[in-house]
Amino acid sequence: MPEGIFDAFGWCDSDVLEWRCPGSWDDATPIDGSDPARMVFVLRHGPFDFLPGELAAVHAFGLGLTVEQALAPWGIDAATDGFHAHRVRPGDALWLAADNLNALFWGLHDWAHFHNHGPFEPHQRAWTEVQCDVSALVWLWINRRDVPLSEPDWERLRRQVVRLSRKRFEGDGASFDESLLDAARLTSRHTLSGERERTARS
């Protein structure tokens, strides 16, 4: 990874992401880069005035949400900046509602953003994004039994993410090193410290 992609990489260790899913889990939604449907970060009791809010029930269904506020889906970058500026741990402010694989993948991707504040430099966006993709794929691999996600379905997801990442690098005019998302590399226990494994499971 080139230096300087994240100016304050890892300012806050990620610990627990609380994810809630209604009874009907859908693992067939493809990752194609379009905005994830049926996914939102629901706000806990604040004050979190720096987070742009919307009614959670507009985005997440089957969880009995009524008047709860959620992070506005367009507010991911603002939240990333705000968590860093206010030194608020994302897990203290938000939980994730997602009822399908595309939604959960993007929730995990955004979760990586929240903990790794940094500038989106022009022509380096693909590098920033691929780091979040790696985090999301590794989390899903480690937690595949709990999700649940079969190994072939994880591999299908990984290939979709490779395609998406390649497009981003092309858009940035940068060359894409596909080994960044190599399956053996992502699933190797040796790429994770014991601490990180416990973190991802919790």
Interface residues with Zn ion (CB under 5 A)? 129, 132
Shortest approach of Zn ion to residue 28 CB, angstroms?
Answer: 23
What's the closest the beta carbon of residue 77 comes to Zn ion, in angstroms? Answer: 9
Compute the least distance from the CB of residue 109 to Zn ion, in Å: 5
Compute the least distance from the CB of residue 37 to Zn ion, in Å: 17
Of 68 and 129, which CB lies nearer to Zn ion in the complex structure? 129
C-alpha distance across the termini of the chain, in Å: 28
Tokens of 152: 């072939």
**Coil, strand or helix at 91:** helix
Our CB check for Zn ion shows the closer of 19 and 25 to be 19
Mapped onto helix, strand or coil, the DSSP state of residue 95 is strand
Nearer to Zn ion, 99 or 129 (CB): 129
| Helical residues (DSSP H) of the chain, grouped into ranges | 76-86, 90-93, 101-115, 125-142, 151-172, 183-187, 194-201
Place of tokens 């998302």: 181
Task: Please name every residue paired with 20 in a beta bridge, in sequence order, or none if there are none.
Answer: 97
Which is nearer to Zn ion, 43 or 132 (by Cβ)? 132
Spatial separation of the C-alpha atoms in residues 44 and 18, rounded to whole Å = 11
Q: Which residues pair with 19 in a beta bridge?
A: 96
Nearest approach, Cβ of residue 113 and Zn ion (Å): 5
**Read out DSSP for 20-43?**
E--S--B------SSPPSSEEEEE
For the CB of residue 120, give the shortest distance to Zn ion in the complex, in Å. 9
Query: Between 132 and 147, whose beta carbon lies closer to Zn ion?
Result: 132
Return the ∠ at Cα 196 (arms to 182 and 104), rounded to 5°.
Answer: 65
